[in-house]
Amino acid sequence: MVQDQLSENRWNHHHRTEEFMDSGNTAWMLMASALVLFMTPGLAFFYGGLVRARNVISTIMYSFMAMAVVSVVWVLWGYSLAFGDGNKWIGDLSVIGLSGIDVQTDGDTLLFVVFQMMFAIITPALITGAIVERFKFTTYLIFLVLWITLVYAPIAHWVWAGNGWLFDMGALDFAGGTVVHINAGMAALAAAILVGKRRNPASEPHNVPYVVLGAAILWFGWFGFNAGSGLAANALAVNAFLVTNVAAAAAALTWGVLSQIQTGRMSAVGVASGAVAGLVAITPASGFVGVMGALAIGIGAGVFCYGAVLLRAKTNVDDALEVVAVHGVGGLWGALATGIFAVAAIGGTAGAIEGNVDQMRIQIIAVGATIGYSFVVTVIILKVLDVIPGLGLRVSETEEDQGLDLTSHGERAFISDGAD
């Protein structure tokens, strides 16, 4: 089955060097890795355009520092915890510091380390959309280390390692619907609740072109995210590329139409958000569904995520940039929809639409486990950081009012001539 092959690809590269490391696959996976890394600066622009002008640098720095911190953590112990042999719950430290991986004979493993590193980088960066404009930067750096170690690595092991309990159960997640998006969405919900509301939320984004540029970069990079997750340049990658684009387009169109119906205008920010929601939702399904399934998933993402934004506005939770609505709800819908629309001829596993209703049960278990674990452990991490002297979660009221660009980084995003 294709699913079994993906398990072997993801978990046991040490034994597949010659097969995996042909020049075509290597070139494609290096390019896919670069595309996924490029998504994080795209996210920085997407988020940066949505906040106040006085918080642009701080918002961008959350994403940029994820690239720095997580890269180091990943090669030291993150990869080993996520993909080391270990047990069904977590990997071990057998490849701590990538020890025992020989450059000459284990090139496939190194390539896999690189590709998976990019997923680990963007996941905590997604969380920051819920806490922008008020979260302490130094605390965030420590949070990155703890969250990758205690939340991301275990869930990645459950879902993607060959001996992970959810993988063994048959849960389908081609490129990160549970591991990345539901995980980040639930952590964002926990963070938004614990950090509390902003003092004076902005009524509109300060730079819509940044938002659209960021969404376009994310859309572009997502082809590496999804089409690269089959770990080969083959027909499965082509299908994943196609359905990724179709779902993003369908969701963007759906969100735009809903915005037009509700407000009489088609918002650029709304269409950009819709595209991202579609990309999120197709992520777990991209290696398992065809074009018609992708259309359904994209339309569903547009409807459900748009509705989630409206619903969130009626609550007391200040998820500043709608991480829960777009990534949490989008990832949840995508994970469940994978169980509905999976086609055996594409990914080796049939969904409910082909008579395998039990796949829905498995997907629900995977979704529930990810939601519960991510939320609870994130709450624990943040509560501990909040009581450590010198840390805490939130900046002072004065710093928040002045803006985090100046108070945290000593810089301003926009000046007239450099002399003022």
CA distance 412 to 56: 8
* The predicted structure's pLDDT at residue 17: 42
* The predicted structure's pLDDT at residue 66: 98
For residue 89, the number of C-alpha atoms closer than 13 Å in the C-beta half-sphere is 2
Reported as a single tens digit per residue, the pLDDT across 322-370 is 999 999 999 999 999 999 999 999 999 999 999 999 999 999 999 999 9
Tell whether 411 is covered by a domain. Answer: no
Chain-centroid distance of CA 6 in Å reads: 20
Tell whether 415 is covered by a domain. Answer: no
Are the C-beta atoms of residues 280 and 178 closer than 8 Å to each other?
Answer: no
**361 to each of 1, 169, 356, 373, how far by Cα in Å?**
20, 10, 10, 18
% of the chain exceeding 70 in pLDDT: 94
Whether pLDDT at 117 is above 70 = yes
Reported as a single tens digit per residue, the pLDDT across 365-394 is 999 999 999 999 999 999 999 999 999 999
* The predicted structure's pLDDT at residue 14: 35
Q: What is the sign, positive or negative, of the torsion defined by CA atoms of 25, 28, 34, 35?
A: negative
CATH number (domain holding residue 130):
1.10.3430.10
For residue 398, the number of C-alpha atoms closer than 13 Å in the C-beta half-sphere is 1
Confidence band for 418, pLDDT divided at 50, 70 and 90? low
Per the prediction, the chain carries an average pLDDT of 93
CA distance 180 to 328: 9
Q: Is 252 left (phi over 0), alpha (psi -120 to 50) or beta?
A: alpha
Confidence band for 20, pLDDT divided at 50, 70 and 90? low
Tell whether 293 is covered by a domain. Answer: yes
% of the chain exceeding 90 in pLDDT: 90
Reported as a single tens digit per residue, the pLDDT across 147-206 is 999 999 999 999 999 999 999 999 999 999 999 999 999 999 999 999 999 998 877 999
Q: What is the mean pLDDT of residues 128-148?
A: 97
Tell whether 419 is covered by a domain. Answer: no
Are the C-beta atoms of residues 150 and 78 closer than 8 Å to each other?
Answer: no
As a whole number of angstroms, the longest Cα–Cα distance in the chain is 68
CA distance 377 to 187: 8
User: What is the token pair recorded at 104?
Assistant: 């000459």
Residue/partner pairs of 88-93 with CB below 8 Å, 24 or more apart: 88/158, 88/163, 88/164, 88/165, 88/168, 89/154, 89/157, 89/158, 89/165, 90/153, 90/154, 90/157, 91/153, 91/157, 91/161
* The predicted structure's pLDDT at residue 102: 83
* The predicted structure's pLDDT at residue 15: 36
Whether pLDDT at 9 is above 70 = no
Q: What is the mean pLDDT of residues 246-274?
A: 97
Structural domains of the chain, count: 1
Reported as a single tens digit per residue, the pLDDT across 63-94 is 999 999 999 999 999 999 999 999 999 999 99
* The predicted structure's pLDDT at residue 119: 98
Closest CA to 249 of 282, 319, 298, 297: 298
Residue whose pair of structure tokens reads 């995520």 in the numeric block: 305
* The predicted structure's pLDDT at residue 201: 85
Are the C-beta atoms of residues 150 and 323 closer than 8 Å to each other?
Answer: no
* The predicted structure's pLDDT at residue 202: 77
Q: What is the mean pLDDT of residues 223-227?
A: 97
* The predicted structure's pLDDT at residue 186: 98
Q: What is the mean pLDDT of residues 42-55?
A: 97
Closest CA to 225 of 43, 32, 45: 32
Whether pLDDT at 10 is above 90 = no
Other C-beta atoms closer than 10 Å to the C-beta of 199 total 10
Tell whether 22 is covered by a domain. Answer: yes
Chain-centroid distance of CA 372 in Å reads: 17
**Enclosing domain of residue 251:** 2-406
